[in-house]
Amino acid sequence: MDRIGENMYSWAKDLFPINRSITGPGVRETLDYLSRLIPDLRILSIPTGTKVFDWVVPDEWSVRDAYIADEKGERIIDFKKNNLHLVGYSEAIDIWLELDELEPFLYSIPTQPDAIPYITSYYKKRWGFCISHNERQALPVGRYHVFIDSDLKPGVLNYGEVVLPGHESNEVLLSTYICHPSLANNELSGPVVTTALVQWLKGLKNRRYTYRICFIPETIGSLVYLSCNAKHMKEKTIAGFILTCVGDNRTYSLMPSRKGGTLADRVANYVLDTEVKEYVQYSFLDRGSDERQYCSPLIDLPVVSVMRTKYGKYPEYHTSLDNMELISPEGLFGGFSVNQKCIIVLEHNYKYIVTLIGEPKMDKRGLRSSLGATKKLDKSVKEMMDFYMYCDGETDLLQISQITGINFFRCAEIADNFSEMGLVERTGR
């Protein structure tokens, strides 16, 4: 695992306390932190009120303080202790209420009495506090001072972008979101794993594809991003991965693209089948992240998510229990590894065509015994000959791997050897 898992975990620890939302200073602070890890990360902004398809970029939100205090002035619920206490996008208020008047503004989960829920109201003005059900039930009758010092006013929506050029102008998309406050698996795991992937990609020799990586707020951010780049992305994207819920250490999961069967799906299934073996294959009907935008009919990108435990499928999801103890260096490294493997497979997944009719003469190249008619070929020679037989210019390495049962990376190795010997040639994508 070398240092990568530890690094990712420590980045997540640094970022965890920040009060992120779809706009505001928490997003900028997060992007600033990431730009120290990815020096060429461009931080972009789009103003409040901009129409993006069916949506409009909302006001920018910032919070200085927020609490509920009792009659003695003691803060019973304090945003500064846990930013989940405040409903996201709460407007300012300063009011005294009786407990029964306060109740409609409190959110808790009776079935998870220790957890603070995560609630937002981006597009309707509201205020509210989230609280554990135990705390809620212990609130004595009385008067409470509700105080929120927040702003909701025209500003910008920020996002980060980095494009790493490759030999080919065809692109691989990596997209993750930076709008969740103190939540760990969903969603600091995505940004830190993506950051580690970018660092690795920058060092990748002979990068084949161009990589487009974006750090955006979920939903409105992917819509903003599409509104700026849809035509280009539709033309160039050959595969894409949404990085979300890649930090716990329980299982692996795959969210397919809208109709399945794209290159991204094939690669993801191959990597999970061979590297992980047991994982949960979801249906697109289970979708819930930015594939809702990237895979929507008019854009329909080949985008999947290779996750650890999927959002909505673990009990801590969208509560204060999705914290730094839920994720781990090992969990993050697992999430990193499967997505990295997908990229490596993509980079090597060429089609080859043989250069001559018939089998190559293997013994003259030292690849086979010159003693004929023995009963069985070496496994290694057998793999080479099987590989060769499907280099027909139409079958890509992933498909050859599936037809022959030869591991993909072994196929890629044979392909390299055979290319050097002039026995096969790469064909167009």
The minimum distance between CB 343 and a second copy, in angstroms, equals 26
Specify whether the CB–CB gap between 57 and 217 falls below 8 A.
no
Phi, psi of 334 (to 5 degrees): -60, -45
Complex with a second copy: residue 54 or 100, whichever CB lies closer:
54
Q: Contact between 318 and a second copy (CB under 8 A)?
A: yes
Q: Contact between 124 and a second copy (CB under 8 A)?
A: yes
Region from 1-9, 142-150, 193-201, 297-305 binding a second copy, contact rule CB under 8 A: 297-305
The DSSP line for 181-214 is SS-STTTTHHHHHHHHHHHHHHT-TT--SEEEEE
Q: Contact between 110 and a second copy (CB under 8 A)?
A: no
Q: Contact between 371 and a second copy (CB under 8 A)?
A: yes
Q: Contact between 295 and a second copy (CB under 8 A)?
A: yes
Q: Contact between 315 and a second copy (CB under 8 A)?
A: no
Phi, psi of 73 (to 5 degrees): 85, 10
Q: Contact between 232 and a second copy (CB under 8 A)?
A: no
Q: Contact between 392 and a second copy (CB under 8 A)?
A: yes
Alpha-carbon distance of 66 to 127, in angstroms, equals 11
Kindly state the number of chain residues that form the binding site for a second copy, as judged by CB under 8 A: 62
Q: Contact between 261 and a second copy (CB under 8 A)?
A: no
Phi, psi of 355 (to 5 degrees): -100, -5
Find the binder of a second copy among 123, 143, 163, 235 (CB under 8 A): 123
The minimum distance between CB 219 and a second copy, in angstroms, equals 8
The minimum distance between CB 354 and a second copy, in angstroms, equals 5
Phi, psi of 127 (to 5 degrees): -140, 160
For residue 9, what are the CA distances in angstroms to 120, 261, 323? 26, 33, 12
Q: Which of 4, 331, 333 is nearest to 200 (CA)?
A: 4
Find the binder of a second copy among 170, 251, 328, 404 (CB under 8 A): 404
Specify whether the CB–CB gap between 175 and 294 falls below 8 A.
yes
The minimum distance between CB 254 and a second copy, in angstroms, equals 18
For residue 162, what are the CA distances in angstroms to 11, 90, 294? 19, 32, 18
Complex with a second copy: residue 10 or 380, whichever CB lies closer:
380
Q: Contact between 26 and a second copy (CB under 8 A)?
A: no
Alpha-carbon distance of 313 to 255, in angstroms, equals 13
Find the binder of a second copy among 45, 249, 296, 402 (CB under 8 A): 296
Element (H, E) at 164: strand 156-164
Q: Which of residues 72-91 bind a second copy (CB under 8 A)?
A: 88
Q: Contact between 141 and a second copy (CB under 8 A)?
A: no
Q: Which of 136, 153, 342, 359 is nearest to 239 (CA)?
A: 342
Q: Which of 310, 283, 280, 284 is nearest to 296 (CA)?
A: 284
Complex with a second copy: residue 3 or 365, whichever CB lies closer:
365
Region from 65-73, 205-213, 290-298, 336-344 binding a second copy, contact rule CB under 8 A: 290-298
The minimum distance between CB 246 and a second copy, in angstroms, equals 19
Q: Contact between 194 and a second copy (CB under 8 A)?
A: no
Q: Give the chain's radius of gyration (CA, Å).
A: 26
The minimum distance between CB 258 and a second copy, in angstroms, equals 6
Would you tell me how many other CB atoms lie within 10 Å of the CB of residue 48? 16
Complex with a second copy: residue 191 or 334, whichever CB lies closer:
191
Specify whether the CB–CB gap between 79 and 65 falls below 8 A.
yes
Alpha-carbon distance of 309 to 324, in angstroms, equals 15
For residue 264, what are the CA distances in angstroms to 150, 237, 268, 330, 429? 42, 10, 6, 25, 14
SS (H, E, C) 300-328: CCCEEEEECCCCCCCCCCCECCCCCCCCC
Q: Contact between 163 and a second copy (CB under 8 A)?
A: no
Find the binder of a second copy among 71, 103, 363, 416 (CB under 8 A): 363
Complex with a second copy: residue 166 or 221, whichever CB lies closer:
221
Q: Which of residues 29-68 bind a second copy (CB under 8 A)?
A: 52-55
Complex with a second copy: residue 279 or 418, whichever CB lies closer:
418
Alpha-carbon distance of 159 to 222, in angstroms, equals 10
Region from 60-68, 122-130, 143-151, 239-247 binding a second copy, contact rule CB under 8 A: 122-130
Contact residues for a second copy, defined by CB under 8 A: 52-55, 88, 118-124, 126, 219, 222-223, 226-227, 230, 258, 284-285, 287, 292-293, 295-300, 312, 317-318, 353-354, 356-361, 363-364, 370-376, 385-386, 388-393, 404-405, 423
